[in-house]
């Protein structure tokens, strides 16, 4: 779940406060690596049965989720991230 954004106006130190083309960069990475995407920030079929903007899915991988294995490596990120090998 990403988006392109302008600088976020916040004083919260927990919010990554930097503008970027985060969604565009992610979508382009998948295209460059010939990985098809079923939907981008939404399930393409959900408009027929819900008005919710949240993407429906059967499985979510989230580094903030309960029991999701994470790695802490401050040389890569100031936040923990998914341990894909685990």
- 53-62 pLDDT per residue, tens: 777 777 776 6
Q: For residues 64 and 46, what is the distance between their CA atoms, to the nearest angstrom?
A: 24
Domain co-membership, 45 together with 65: no
Structural domain that includes position 82: 58-86
Distances (CA, A) of 10 to 17, 38, 64, 79, 86: 7, 33, 21, 18, 34
Give 11-38 pLDDT, tens digit per residue: 777 666 677 788 899 899 999 999 999 8
Q: Residue 60 burial by CB count (10 A; 0-12/13-18/19+): exposed, middle or buried?
A: exposed
- The SS3 assignment for 43 reads coil
pLDDT value for 45: 85
Instruction: Work out the mean pLDDT of the chain and round it to a whole number.
Output: 81
Domain co-membership, 81 together with 48: no
Domain co-membership, 9 together with 43: yes
Domain co-membership, 20 together with 46: yes
Query: How many residues in total does the chain contain?
Result: 86
pTM: 0.54
Domain co-membership, 48 together with 81: no
Domain co-membership, 66 together with 50: no
Within a 10 A sphere around the Cβ of 41, how many other Cβ atoms?
Answer: 13
């Amino acid at each position: 779940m990403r988006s392109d954004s302008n600088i976020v106006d916040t004083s919260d130190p927990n919010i990554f406060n930097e503008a970027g083309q985060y969604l565009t960069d992610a979508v382009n990475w998948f295209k460059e690596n010939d990985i098809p995407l079923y939907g981008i920030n939404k399930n393409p079929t959900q408009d027929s049965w819900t008005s919710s903007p949240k993407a429906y899915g059967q499985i979510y991988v989230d580094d903030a989720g309960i029991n999701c294995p994470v790695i802490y490596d401050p040389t890569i990120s100031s936040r923990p991230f998914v341990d894909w090998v685990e």
